[in-house]
Amino acid sequence: MESASVAVGHAPGGEHAPGGAGEHHGPPEANKSSRVDAPLLGMLLFIISEIMLFGAFFTAYFFVRVVGDAPWPAPGEHLPVVVAGINTAILISSSFTMHWALEGARNENRAALRVGMLTTFLLGLTFLCVQINEYVFIGFAPADNAQGSIFYGLTGLHGAHVFVGLTLLAMATVRAFRGHFTPKEHRGIEIPGIYWHFVDVMWIVVYTVIYVI
């Protein structure tokens, strides 16, 4: 009986023998990608969903302007192209300071990390304040016409993303000044940085389509 028990993968006394057929219990281990870690993958999937959201607003813009052949902006309205261009330069500059901060974290340069994060936050805040000021003095409202609705919809959607990005930057900046990041542990800078670069690139598209073309 003892030899028969060992043959089916059981040791004497009812215990499992090493390498036996019934050694593993419970569900299998979760599959983990060796190429992309979970936080980075989550941010990339989120950005893809945001691109689709912006795509819906751009579809409305092209429908009014191309399919409906409506003038842009509406007759009697004016868009502050120069001010928006300066604001675009401010936001693009924040991408460079964000990259500078990340490189500072990777190279254990705490001064570059802290100054880069603080500068990025202040540039982003300046951009948002200029955009709000633009709304105050632009001279038309979303309810005035379809062009106004699309203008406020696209620029307002982007402004909301800037606000979210500033919230992430504020938390990362506080952590940077508290010394939380190291050359090996700087995910808290890299992930918000990816989101901020997305916000910057999306604004270039919005500015080109809404103000320039």
Which three-class secondary structure state does DSSP give residue 178?
coil
Residues facing 136 on adjacent strands: none
Who contacts 24 (Cβ-Cβ below 8 Å, separation ≥6)? none
Place of tokens 């052949």: 69
The pLDDT assigned to 40 comes to 86
Best CA proximity match to 152, nearest among 165, 163, 136, 168: 136
In the beta sheet, which residues pair with residue 10? 16
- Asked if residue 151 lies in contact with residue 70, where contact means CB atoms within 8 angstroms, the answer is no
Handedness of CA 201, 124, 42, 105 (dihedral sign): positive
- What confidence category does residue 6 fall into, taking pLDDT thresholds of 50, 70 and 90? very low
Which residues, listed in sequence order, are joined to residue 16 by a DSSP beta bridge? 10
Please list the alpha-helical segments (H only) found in 69-145. 81-106, 110-137
CB atoms within 10 A of CB 67: 8
pLDDT tens-digit series, residues 56-92: 999 999 999 989 899 999 999 999 999 999 999 999 9
Instruction: Please state, in angstroms and rounded to a whole number, the distance separating the CA atoms of residues 183 and 154.
Output: 38
Q: Report pLDDT for 37.
A: 79
Query: Which residues pair with residue 213 across a beta bridge?
Result: none
Tens of pLDDT, residue by residue over 158-172, are 999 999 999 999 999
Q: Is-contact 89 125, C-beta < 8 A?
A: no
Q: What are the pLDDT digits (tens) for 39-51?
A: 888 999 999 999 9
Question: Residue written as tokens 């990041």?
Answer: 181
Catalogue all structural domains in the chain, each as residue range(s) with its CATH number.
38-212 (1.20.120.80)
pLDDT of residue 24: 56
Q: What is the pLDDT of residues 85-142, one digit of tens each?
A: 999 999 999 999 999 999 999 999 999 999 999 999 999 999 999 999 999 999 999 9
The per-residue b/e assignment along 76-110, b for 16 or more CB within 10 angstroms, e otherwise, is: ebebbeebbeebbeebebbbebbebbbebbbeebe
pTM listed for this prediction: 0.82
Burial class (CB within 10 angstroms; exposed 0-12, middle 13-18, buried 19+) of 206: buried
Distance CA 96, CA 101 (A): 9
